[in-house]
């Protein structure tokens, strides 16, 4: 390793730490601390935090007046209720306003997810390259940034178009949102300038700050880029969660709290976490497709080796981020139910429930594709023959769990079919349609996916520690007991006791899965320290494996579109749940077929833009050869 | 099988059994802990909590 790369003087170390602190202050962490200091965060009870607000009339009590313009005692500030637009207040442009906003919002979110995620793992890869001295990491990190650079412009274009469309098509709603969030919009706009500054200095300064202490400056720029990007994300998340579960306003939507109280609704942090993890998985999947595209389009062994490695790294990022994602989703749904059971039931027990079956198909596709890629990648090393016999068992578990997960509880049947079946539930398959069966399936799928991942990682290594046998015995025991525990908890508490146990035991199932993942990482990292390494042949992988890398972003994109539709639809006929009604012509949950078409359109549109992004990335590396005439000393 | 191999097999068997016992106890404790923090005792008599 070059000594220049690791020598940091005491003064520079102080500068680095100051930079880190500044970065954290820019990020949500610092903001939380600042707000906590003046708002007394933590002083309110959980009940108060999640108590539903809005125009809810309790039987036997006086109805709440709807258009209150009043002054509270001792306060100068006027309380202005949320507007109540009539049908005529919504501009008619000849096409569905909702459809226009839907496409623009979804495209903006797809690209925003991509450009927020890529710098996150780019920073980690760059740091790995710096610490190990392996310049391949640095080159790969730079290439990842190059791919996503066009994405920043596309995100901004769709963001601007979305804002314009919202102000034109939903003026009352946007007027209200502007009033509620006030100066936060300016902070949001200011953060764009910061993010752009850090983005361009980070990307264009890459070669200028590649070694020694300057590399720390470059890493700090990357950290600040991520901090500003993450802050933008959590700020905009607060608008979406305010519309789902408003806080800081009274029953009629008049603002009674400060901006922090408006932002910290019960769904804010679950959405923050869910989007943070999902963005990383999504970003990894998209850049993986780029690597696959480059791998398939070249026959140069060196380039194939590079893009094979890049594809592997992307898949690694996507799958590793994907593993905890269902748990973040569970937390979000649990908070939705805690906030409003009606909203939860709309999502998972009503018309939208069917979408969770489609979701299962898509997640199953992601896991099957991710596993298939790992199994194919085992051919890179001879050491994998030790583990290949296990693949068929993993595939068996995956397929059985996939089929269980996609089994619906109720079926769309005609009267005669119901009569023939003896009811709307199949007597054998019916029990597989409820959550305990799904929980078993999803947890087992995650456990065996981690097993595939672990076997892949072990393929090119032979442990040399004396306790290797005991370590393996412990690991086998953890896998077996965890899987038995997941099945036991699901069957016993899911089918034989009351509902509270059913919900409670799902947390223990998640705990079992996490124990497998954490124990697997810890045991392997200790066991394979100073291990004998077998040669790995990057580029030696079947071409068909690359199609798994194409399947991942398509499934991820469709899945994001689908769940975005669910998240937005649970508000039913409200712009802002319980405080501002939607009186537009589109104030109903669209049918699944219509939504399916819309989601497919935005998915295809996104993929076309991604192809454009890849093309631009390629174009920047293409050099036109000098015309023959020019070589001879003149243009002709 | 010579004595050395026999000893090796016995040690592996013992290590495996010990690992399973250890992990079973750990998961039982984990289930207890996670259910307890949710206010749900880990009952094994198939009767719903009161």
Return the closest-CA partner of residue A364 out of A311, A313, A317, A404.
A404
Nearest 5°: the CA angle A534, A537, A542 is: 130
Set of chain A residues whose Cβ sits within 8 Å of the Cβ of B43: 497
Return the closest-CA partner of residue A520 out of A471, A459, A487.
A471
Q: Do A474 and B19 touch (CB under 8 A)?
A: yes
Q: Phi and psi (nearest 5°) for A79?
A: -95, 120
Mean pLDDT in residue range A346-369: 88
Those of residues 459-478 in A touching chain B at CB distance below 8 A are: 469-470, 473-474, 476-478
Is residue A348 within 8 A of residue A516, CB to CB? The reply is: no
Q: Phi and psi (nearest 5°) for A633?
A: 110, 10
Average pLDDT of chain A is: 86
Residue B22 burial (CB < 10 Å; 0-12/13-18/19+)? middle
| Shortest Cα distance, chain A CAs vs residue B22, angstroms | 9
Element (H, E) at A421: helix A415-421
Residue A379 domain flag = no
- Beta bridge partner(s), residue A249: A255
- pTM equals 0.81
Cα–Cα distance for residue pair A411/A403, rounded to 1 Å: 15
Q: Do A469 and B40 touch (CB under 8 A)?
A: no
A174 in contact with chain B, both atoms CB, cutoff 8 A = no
Q: Do A481 and B12 touch (CB under 8 A)?
A: no
Q: What is the pLDDT of residues A573-632, one digit of tens each?
A: 999 999 999 999 999 999 889 999 999 999 999 999 999 998 988 888 788 888 877 655
| Shortest Cα distance, chain A CAs vs residue B6, angstroms | 16
The chain A residue lying nearest B48, using CA atoms, is: A497
Q: Residues with Cβ < 8 Å from A272, sequence gap 6 or more?
A: A28, A233, A234, A237
Is residue A567 within 8 A of residue A332, CB to CB? The reply is: no
pLDDT at site A64: 55
Q: What is the pLDDT of residues B12-48, one digit of tens each?
A: 888 889 999 999 999 999 998 998 888 887 766 555 5
Those of residues 406-465 in A touching chain B at CB distance below 8 A are: none
Cα–Cα distance for residue pair A292/A376, rounded to 1 Å: 14
Direct distance between the N- and C-terminal alpha carbons of chain A, in angstroms, rounded to an integer = 51
The chain B residue lying nearest A505, using CA atoms, is: B35
Q: Give chain B's contact residues with A (Cβ, < 8 Å).
A: 11-12, 15-16, 18-20, 22-24, 26-27, 30-31, 34-35, 38, 40, 43, 46-49
Residue A614 domain flag = yes
Confidence band of A498 (pLDDT split at 50, 70, 90): confident
Mutate to test the interface with A, among B13, B15, B25, B39 (most CBs of A within 10 A): B15
Confidence band of A567 (pLDDT split at 50, 70, 90): very high
pLDDT at residue A242 above 90? yes
pLDDT at site A551: 95
Domain that holds residue A138: 98-320+346-356+544-619
Cα–Cα distance for residue pair A369/A619, rounded to 1 Å: 30
Mean pLDDT in residue range A3-20: 44
Cα–Cα distance for residue pair A61/A64, rounded to 1 Å: 9
The chain B residue lying nearest A500, using CA atoms, is: B40
Mutate to test the interface with B, among A327, A501, A520 (most CBs of B within 10 A): A501
Residue A76 domain flag = no
Return the closest-CA partner of residue A113 out of A623, A610, A461, A625.
A610
How many structural domains comprise chain A? 1
Element (H, E) at A576: strand A574-576
The chain B residue lying nearest A512, using CA atoms, is: B27
Among A77-91, A154-168, A263-277, A302-316, the minimum mean pLDDT is found in A77-91
A482 in contact with chain B, both atoms CB, cutoff 8 A = yes
Chains A, B: CB pairs < 8 Å: 64
Mean pLDDT in residue range A550-573: 94
The number of residues making up chain A comes to 636
Is residue A614 within 8 A of residue A293, CB to CB? The reply is: yes
A1 in contact with chain B, both atoms CB, cutoff 8 A = no
Is residue A198 within 8 A of residue A224, CB to CB? The reply is: yes
Residue A535 domain flag = no
pLDDT at site A237: 96
Q: Do A481 and B23 touch (CB under 8 A)?
A: yes
pLDDT at site A39: 37
Mutate to test the interface with B, among A479, A481, A507 (most CBs of B within 10 A): A481
pLDDT at site A30: 35
Residue A229 domain flag = yes
Q: Which of A481, A492, A501 sits opposite B27 (nearest CB)?
A: A481
Confidence band of A15 (pLDDT split at 50, 70, 90): very low
pLDDT at residue A52 above 80? no
Q: What is the pLDDT of residues A116-141, one digit of tens each?
A: 999 999 999 999 999 998 899 999 99
Complete DSSP assignment for A539-558: T-S-THHHHHHHHHHHHHHH
pLDDT at site A502: 81
Return the closest-CA partner of residue A112 out of A314, A283, A291, A362.
A283
A497 in contact with chain B, both atoms CB, cutoff 8 A = yes
pLDDT at residue A392 above 90? yes
Query: Cα separations (Å) of B27 from A58, A223, A366, A443, B17?
Result: 45, 39, 29, 15, 15
- Beta bridge partner(s), residue A71: A78
Residue A62 domain flag = no
Confidence band of A508 (pLDDT split at 50, 70, 90): very high
Residue A208 domain flag = yes
Cα–Cα distance for residue pair A625/A44, rounded to 1 Å: 69
Interface TM-score (ipTM) > 0.90: no
Q: Do A497 and B30 touch (CB under 8 A)?
A: no
Residue A282 domain flag = yes
Confidence band of A75 (pLDDT split at 50, 70, 90): low
Cα–Cα distance for residue pair A98/A91, rounded to 1 Å: 12
């Amino acid at each position: 390793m070059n000594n220049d790369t690791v020598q940091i003087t005491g003064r520079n170390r102080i500068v680095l730490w100051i930079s880190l602190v500044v970065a954290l202050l820019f990020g949500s962490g610092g903001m939380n601390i600042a707000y906590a200091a003046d708002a007394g965060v933590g002083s309110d009870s959980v009940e108060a935090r999640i108590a539903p607000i809005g125009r809810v009339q309790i039987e036997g009590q006086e109805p709440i007046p709807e258009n209150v313009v009043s002054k509270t005692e001792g306060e100068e500030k006027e309380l202005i209720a949320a507007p109540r637009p009539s049908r005529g207040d919504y501009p008619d442009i000849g096409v569905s306003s909702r459809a226009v906003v839907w496409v623009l919002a979804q495209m903006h979110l797809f690209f925003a997810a991509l450009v927020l995620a890529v710098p996150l793992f780019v920073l980690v890869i760059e740091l790995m390259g710096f610490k190990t001295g392996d310049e391949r990491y640095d080159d790969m990190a730079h290439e990842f940034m190059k791919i996503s650079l066009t994405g920043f412009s596309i995100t901004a274009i769709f963001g601007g178009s979305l804002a314009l469309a919202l102000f034109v098509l939903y003026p009352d709603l946007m007027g209200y949102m502007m009033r509620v969030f006030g100066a936060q919009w300016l902070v949001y706009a200011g953060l764009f300038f910061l993010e752009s500054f850090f983005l361009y200095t980070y990307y264009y300064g890459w070669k200028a700050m590649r070694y020694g202490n300057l590399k720390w400056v470059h890493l700090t720029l990357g950290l600040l880029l991520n901090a500003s990007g993450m802050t933008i994300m959590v700020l905009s998340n607060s608008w979406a969660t305010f519309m789902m579960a408003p806080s800081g306003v009274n029953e009629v939507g008049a603002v009674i709290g400060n901006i922090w109280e408006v932002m910290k609704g019960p769904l804010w942090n679950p959405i923050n976490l869910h989007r943070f993890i999902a963005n990383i998985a999504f970003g990894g999947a998209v850049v993986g497709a780029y690597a696959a595209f480059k791998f398939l389009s070249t026959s140069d062994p060196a380039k194939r080796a590079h893009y094979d490695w890049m594809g592997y790294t992307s898949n690694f990022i996507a799958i590793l981020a994907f593993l905890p994602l269902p748990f973040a989703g569970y937390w979000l749904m649990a908070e939705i139910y805690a906030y409003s059971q009606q909203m939860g039931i709309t999502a998972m027990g009503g018309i939208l429930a069917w979408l969770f079956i489609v979701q299962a198909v898509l997640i199953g596709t992601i896991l099957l594709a991710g596993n298939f890629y790992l199994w194919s990648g085992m051919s890179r090393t001879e050491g994998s023959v030790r583990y290949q016999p296990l693949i068929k068992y993993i595939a068996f578990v995956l397929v059985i769990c996939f089929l269980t997960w996609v089994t619906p509880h109720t079926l769309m049947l005609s009267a005669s079919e119901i009569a023939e079946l003896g009811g709307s539930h199949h007597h054998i398959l019916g029990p597989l349609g409820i959550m305990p069966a799904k929980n078993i399936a999803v947890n087992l799928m995650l456990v065996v996916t981690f097993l595939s991942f672990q076997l892949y990682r072990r393929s090119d290594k032979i442990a040399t520690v004396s306790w290797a046998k005991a370590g393996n015995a412990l690991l086998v025991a953890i896998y077996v007991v965890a899987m038995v525990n997941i099945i036991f908890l699901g069957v016993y508490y899911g089918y034989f006791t009351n509902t509270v146990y059913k919900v409670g035991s799902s947390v223990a199932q998640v705990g079992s899965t996490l124990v497998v993942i954490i124990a697997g990482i810890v045991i392997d990292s200790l066991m394979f320290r100073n291990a004998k390494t077998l040669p790995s042949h990057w580029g030696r992988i079947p071409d068909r494996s690359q199609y798994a890398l194409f399947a991942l972003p398509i499934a991820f994109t469709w899945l994001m579109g689908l769940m975005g539709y669910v998240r937005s639809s649970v508000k039913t006929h409200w712009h802002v749940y319980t405080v501002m009604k939607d009186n537009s012509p589109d104030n109903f949950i669209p049918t699944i077929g219509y939504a399916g078409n819309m989601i497919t359109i935005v998915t295809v549109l996104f993929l076309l833009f991604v192809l454009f992004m890849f093309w631009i990335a390629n174009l920047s590396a293409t050099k036109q050869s000098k015309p023959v005439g020019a070589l001879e000393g003149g243009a002709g | 099988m010579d004595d050395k191999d026999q000893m090796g097999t016995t040690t592996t068997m013992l290590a495996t059994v010990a690992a399973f016992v250890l992990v079973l106890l750990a998961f039982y404790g984990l289930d207890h802990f996670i259910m307890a923090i949710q206010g749900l005792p880990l009952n094994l008599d198939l009767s719903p909590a009161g």
